[in-house]
Chains A and B, each alone.
Chain A
Amino acid sequence: MTAALRFDPIRLPEKCEQLRKEVRAFLADEIAAGTFDPHKPNREDTDAPEFSRRVGAKGWLGMTWPKKYGGQERSFLERYVVTEEMRVANAPTRRFFVADRQSGPVLLKYAPEHIKMEILPRICRGEICFAIGMSEPNSGSDLFAAKTRATKTDGGYLINGTKIWTSSAHIADYMIAIFRTSQPTKENRRHGLTQFLVKMKQPGIKVNPIGQITGQYEFNEVVFTDHFIPDDHVLGEVDGAWKQATSELAYERSGPERFLETYYVLTELVRAVGPNPDTRSAEGIGRLVAQLHTMRRMSVSVAGMLEAGKEPVVEASIVKDIGTVWEQQLPHRVRDLAAFVEETATNRETLERQLDFAIKTAPKLTIQGGTTEVLRGIIARGLGLR
């Protein structure tokens, strides 16, 4: 049983370290050019289309995909390095990140060939943005409860209903969504959901903004009224999306983005404390760094499992559970320690501004990508408890 919970201490190969240098140099140039401020995670310009194209031009989008679709056929571990360096630098990845991590792999697996040839190279070039349409009003983690209907019509489907909590729908070119194509059966409650590729900015789709408590605007409500989707935009099996959607969630769960979202406050705390910390600050920093290091070792290990073609569902859930709890607690622990930072610390204002934003960000971290409760259910199943 515990055999499933071993995280082998794999190390990133040398070619990853070379790539890391390239990414750092690229980001340093972007920062110098004023594309973004690494000290401002709460910037308003998180939708940075030109930056996306430059990242695409570097070959850092769709890195693991086949070359015929614009990919680079590089390893998951190389992609891992790019992701973590972007995250640590607070780079504006909003426009391309979902497509790169999640939507692209779904299309690779389930889309018809002509759609792959049309869309995947554009993702790789950083030209298009994706949203994910899973949650609905009254159905978040409970995907079975999704009600938005796709009704068969000539040459396609008509969509009616509402998706909600849809990040980036207001800037997205496409959405991969699940809709109800038939009712669940008595034998299979999971039956009747189908995955579709939705072209946004078309008739019958209305995107309504939902403000967040951070003051940012990222979530949306997406209302479908007789929106037409052609037959060749069905992804995978009609009525069989349940398994597709759950395997898609595995992409969401163990990457560096799952423990680094509030990392910046730790860097600024170290800066504010200075080179000769008092005992209390030193101990606080040491504990946080030990936890960060452990999280990262686990996350890298899962990336190694993915690279080896394994399906580390339980391991990824553990990384996300521990990782999001950690990134949620981090701003509060840093706040505790920052209470004793000298008033004269040069970055005091930056630290306070970051803490304000991170503390407001924290409540969502254990919800997105599967709530902590759902993840613990998955882990419990892995332990043979259900």
Chain B
Amino acid sequence: MAESDNIVVETAEKIFADLADPQTINNDKTNSWQAPLWQALSEAGLPLSWVPDDLGGSGASLADGFALLNAAGRFAVAVPLAETMLAGWLLAQAKITSPDGEMTVLPASPKDRITIDADGALSGRSRGVPFARAAKHFAVLAHGKEGVSIALVDASKARIESGLNVGYDHSDTVTLDKVQPVSIKAAPKGVDQTHLMLMGGVTRSLQIAGALESMLDISVRYSNERVAFEKKISKFQAVQHNLARLAGESAAALAAATSAADAIANAKSFNDEVYLEAASAKIRCAEAAEKGGGIAHQVHGAIGFTMEHILHRYSLRALAWRDDFGSESYWAVELGKLVANRGADELWPLVASR
């Protein structure tokens, strides 16, 4: 794997292995693991990976940050690392300094809209905001008369209705009612809600792909331990074929997600080609989460359905991540419209351009 030459990923994996072992987390009913993990991640500068030094961050490249998100997916860690990274990235686009502590981004759905009032206050509602309750600040993309702006908002000024996603992580509804931001600046050209949603979508794609890699690992391991009908179940051809399919889904998810991340990291602008990559990644990874997660549970039998087992930490989270920053159905419609609008004879040139 590429990790060996990536110091950001190496650092993160060591922290996850030490402080976010899935079995330990799964057994801890009081969430006492969260604070030390967040502290270690923060001390290593990881939550603000995508924020340049002069804006309070550690200035890692987009590519390194994406690799870090994939690693976070492999550990299925439920702290707002991805969300804080995204928020820091968004704020940095408008050269707003990132504060310390947990952050998340608004809106988290392509159809929700935050507006800027005449007096510069922010209003609007965003549903399905990951970790809103844990966040001290929000990075907000908002629409005003002058166009798109990026704002830093104190989370205590917002109304937050608690919710949980399928993976038991906080997914809240945030309402801003004439909230004065800590800071607000015009977004640079090209940074708009679609851009933010696709960044979020690729973030989730990398996490889903990571979770599938782990599901494959633990499913293969389990099939080599579990004996039924006097044989290891890994020796049954039907089980082998299911695991081969899981490997295929995991590989497809990782290929789609890393290709999209690479496309964004090297793009000068968000053109149709990058759009194809990013939207495809979210669609394909979401499909892989459904198919791959199903197979992982099938291999584990009833034991994988229990709260005691760690499988759900990956499978349910991968399913939940499908919904953030536009579901696969949403992106499929948008991508389909784009393809149809370009016309039949432009489909292959678009695909072959990548």
Residues of A whose CB lies within 8 Å of any CB of B are 1-3, 5-9, 11, 20, 84-85, 88, 263, 266-268, 270-271, 273-277, 279, 281-287, 289-298, 301, 315, 318, 321-322, 373, 375-377, 379-380, 382-386
In the complex, the answer to whether B223 meets A385 with C-beta atoms within 8 Å is yes
In the complex, the answer to whether B332 meets A2 with C-beta atoms within 8 Å is no
In the complex, the answer to whether A293 meets B354 with C-beta atoms within 8 Å is yes
In the complex, the answer to whether B241 meets A380 with C-beta atoms within 8 Å is yes
In the complex, how many angstroms separate the beta carbon of B84 from the nearest chain A beta carbon?
A: 25
Other 12 A-B pairs with CB < 8 A, given A375-B244, A379-B248, A380-B244: A273-B340, A275-B340, A281-B336, A282-B332, A286-B333, A286-B335, A289-B276, A290-B279, A290-B332, A296-B351, A296-B352, A321-B245
B135 within 8 A of A: no
In the complex, the answer to whether A377 meets B240 with C-beta atoms within 8 Å is yes
Identify the closest chain A residue to B341 (Cβ). Answer: A275
In the complex, the answer to whether A281 meets B262 with C-beta atoms within 8 Å is no
- Contacts A267-B344, A286-B339, A373-B241; A297 near B352 (Cβ below 8 A): no
In the complex, the answer to whether A266 meets B347 with C-beta atoms within 8 Å is yes
- Sort A-B residue pairs by CB-CB distance and give the 3 closest, nearest first: A286-B332, A282-B336, A286-B336
In the complex, the answer to whether A5 meets B254 with C-beta atoms within 8 Å is yes
Question: Size range of the interface on B?
Answer: 35 or more
Residues of B whose CB lies within 8 Å of any CB of A are 1-2, 213, 216-217, 220, 223-224, 234-235, 237, 239-241, 243-245, 247-248, 250-252, 254-256, 258-259, 261-263, 276-277, 279-281, 283-284, 287, 328-329, 331-337, 339-341, 343-345, 347-348, 351-352, 354
In the complex, how many angstroms separate the beta carbon of A17 from the nearest chain B beta carbon?
A: 9
In the complex, the answer to whether A380 meets B340 with C-beta atoms within 8 Å is no
In the complex, how many angstroms separate the beta carbon of B95 from the nearest chain A beta carbon?
A: 30
In the complex, the answer to whether B339 meets A270 with C-beta atoms within 8 Å is yes
Contact residue among A2, A88, A279, A318 (Cβ-Cβ distance under 8 Å from B213)? A2
Query: Which residues from chain B contact A1 at a C-beta distance below 8 Å?
Result: 216-217, 220
Query: Which residues from chain A contact B245 at a C-beta distance below 8 Å?
Result: 321, 376
In the complex, the answer to whether A322 meets B351 with C-beta atoms within 8 Å is no
Can you give 28 A-B contacts (C-beta < 8 A)?
A5-B251, A8-B258, A9-B255, A9-B259, A9-B262, A84-B352, A85-B352, A266-B347, A267-B348, A270-B344, A279-B333, A285-B340, A286-B334, A286-B336, A286-B339, A287-B328, A287-B332, A296-B354, A298-B252, A315-B251, A318-B248, A318-B251, A376-B244, A380-B244, A382-B247, A385-B224, A385-B235, A385-B239
Query: Which residues from chain A contact B279 at a C-beta distance below 8 Å?
Result: 286, 290
In the complex, the answer to whether A290 meets B243 with C-beta atoms within 8 Å is no
Query: Which residues from chain B contact A375 at a C-beta distance below 8 Å?
Result: 244
Query: Which residues from chain B contact A283 at a C-beta distance below 8 Å?
Result: 329, 332-333, 336
Identify the closest chain A residue to B262 (Cβ). Answer: A9
In the complex, the answer to whether B220 meets A384 with C-beta atoms within 8 Å is yes
Contact residue among A88, A271, A373 (Cβ-Cβ distance under 8 Å from B348)? A88
Query: Which residues from chain A contact B348 at a C-beta distance below 8 Å?
Result: 88, 263, 267
In the complex, how many angstroms separate the beta carbon of A383 from the nearest chain B beta carbon?
A: 5
In the complex, how many angstroms separate the beta carbon of A45 from the nearest chain B beta carbon?
A: 23
Q: Which of A6, A290, A318, A379 has the most CB of B within 10 A?
A: A290
| A321 to B166 CA separation, bound complex (whole angstroms) | 31
In the complex, the answer to whether B1 meets A6 with C-beta atoms within 8 Å is yes
In the complex, the answer to whether A380 meets B339 with C-beta atoms within 8 Å is no
In the complex, the answer to whether A6 meets B254 with C-beta atoms within 8 Å is yes
In the complex, how many angstroms separate the beta carbon of B133 from the nearest chain A beta carbon?
A: 33
Query: Which residues from chain A contact B352 at a C-beta distance below 8 Å?
Result: 20, 84-85, 88, 296
In the complex, the answer to whether B220 meets A385 with C-beta atoms within 8 Å is yes
In the complex, the answer to whether B220 meets A383 with C-beta atoms within 8 Å is yes
Identify the closest chain A residue to B263 (Cβ). Answer: A9
Q: Which of B1, B255, B332 has the most CB of A within 10 A?
A: B255
Contact residue among B223, B254, B280, B334 (Cβ-Cβ distance under 8 Å from A7)? B254
Query: Which residues from chain A contact B336 at a C-beta distance below 8 Å?
Result: 277, 281-287, 289
- Contacts A5-B250, A276-B340, A296-B351; A290 near B262 (Cβ below 8 A): no
In the complex, the answer to whether A275 meets B252 with C-beta atoms within 8 Å is no
| A284 to B263 CA separation, bound complex (whole angstroms) | 24
In the complex, the answer to whether B248 meets A321 with C-beta atoms within 8 Å is yes
In the complex, the answer to whether A281 meets B240 with C-beta atoms within 8 Å is no
Query: Which residues from chain A contact B345 at a C-beta distance below 8 Å?
Result: 267, 271
| A386 to B277 CA separation, bound complex (whole angstroms) | 36
Query: Which residues from chain A contact B263 at a C-beta distance below 8 Å?
Result: 9
